Amino acid sequence: MFPIPQSDLQPNTYGYESRPLVKPTGFREYDARWLFGKEINLMGVQALGLGLGVLLGEFGVEKRIVVGHDFRSYSASIKYALIAGLQAAGVEVLDIGLAITPMAYYAQFALDVPAVAMVTASHNDNGWTGVKMGAARPVTFGPEEMGRLRDIVINGEFKYGAGGGYRFIEDFPRQYIADLVTRPRLKRKLKVIAACGNGTAGAFAPELLSALGVEVVPLDCDLDFNFPRYNPNPEDLHMLHAMADAVRAQGADVALGFDGDGDRCGIVDNEGNEIFADKIGVMLARDLSKLHPNATFVVDVKSTGLFAADPALKALGAKTDYWKTGHSHIKRRVRDLQALAGFEKSGHFFFNKPVGRGYDDGFVTAIAVLDMLDRNPEKSMADLYRDLPKTWGSPTMSPHCPDEIKYDVANRVVKRFEAMRAKCEALTGQAIVDVVTVNGVRVTVEDGTWGLVRASSNKPELVVVVESPVSEARMRAMFHAVDAILRENPEVGAYNQTI
């Protein structure tokens, strides 16, 4: 039988090369993330594949799975270790090779395969690896499935199975791109910056956008797994600033920025304004609601309050459901509510028919943005942004907090705000009017200013977001009030960025 994984093996030892290393905290709420070499080794990845094969059997789904890998120096090796474990469990593997994550999701439909396992660290720093998994298209695993997978792997509940196989699907990205561009070309002449941070999307984005009929200016599209300029993360200000500089230098209509595995898209307008993804979501909801009145949209708790307060969306009968942050959470909620779309502040967007197939795809998001511009030929991206009611919001800020304690700290903060409301204590000098605890805590005061604290699902961090519909000063006041409560917990460290 395959050895039971351990969590404390040291590299460059006999044990490390003879037994699987798997740190339990790598099993997150909706995918898996580890520091490769320190928290998981190749035998550990093999154990993950074996455990995933066992889980597919428990689910009663056909043991066939699509796999792919992102462009990092070690991702192919990790994928082949995963494949070895899957085959040992009796799973037939269809390998689409180097790909962005949405290609793997699309392959589930195009190849009629029930399960998916995409090897990617997404936008995480080099050194990280992970796997995004699912067995019921278009959704991916959530906390229940990830918890069961963790138990199978960590406890060594492995079962070998017959019938495992392997097939490589040659040149699958061409099929994916052909599916997206089989549509009318854009009528409006647009100049577009395609920013990829030297990540996987750079191999495909310029070709896709050119086929849609736009003039493409590539920005960091050459693949380089060292990420020499910045991490491919369109939520990070380094990448957004580079996109803004390129827009101004090139006189472009918009910049589209894709993350490391291509399932997210960030936007900079024609004036160089870096638009947070939740505001892009409001703009797209407005545009789509004109075509589909009375639509339902799912948004995560980090997102702007405009989804509920925007007069234009109200006039079109749009309904908003605030839900848990995380691509699997929002994806599943979009499916369950049959919503037209779901939007995450991180840039994961989910479009149901007729726009998409329900999964997060940065390229589909880019097409939706270009279609919005095409349908509004008299307005620039900046004009559409200015049409929104003004709010002052922060980026997603992430103070360090160890994986082993971050959920406990988040729960303490939830209880602290609940107690404040119960005692009618003021926050930033105003009464607390709402406390939402569907995912961490989102606390709102009388003038609509709100703050959010939750545990990150994929990094040893907490997540902090604040917004005010009144002024920048009120937004900053909320940040300082939230941060003061966070600092009551000594486990909370420094922020990755602040306001």
User: pLDDT per residue over 200-252, tens digit each?
Assistant: 999 999 999 999 999 999 999 999 999 999 999 998 889 999 999 999 999 99
What does the pLDDT average to over 463-483? 97
Q: At what angle do helices 75-88 and 42-59 cross, to 10 degrees?
A: 40
Does residue 109 register a pLDDT over 80?
A: yes
Does residue 499 register a pLDDT over 90?
A: no
What pLDDT was estimated at residue 37?
Answer: 97
Does residue 395 register a pLDDT over 90?
A: no
What pLDDT was estimated at residue 140?
Answer: 96
Does residue 458 register a pLDDT over 90?
A: no
Percent of the chain residues topping a pLDDT of 70: 100
Listed residue (338, 348, 363, 288) closest to 318, CA to CA: 288
Distance CA 160, CA 465 (A): 46
Kind and range of the H or E element at 86?
helix 75-88
Give the number of other Cβ atoms within 10 Å of residue 488's Cβ.
11
User: pLDDT per residue over 348-378, tens digit each?
Assistant: 999 999 999 999 999 999 999 999 999 999 9
342 bridge partner residues: 298, 350
Distance CA 108, CA 117 (A): 10
Residues 6+ apart with CB under 8 A from 367: 180, 212
Domains of the chain as residue ranges with CATH: 14-173 (3.40.120.10), 183-386 (3.40.120.10), 392-486 (3.30.310.50)
What pLDDT was estimated at residue 278?
Answer: 93
Label residue 139 by pLDDT band (50, 70, 90).
Answer: very high
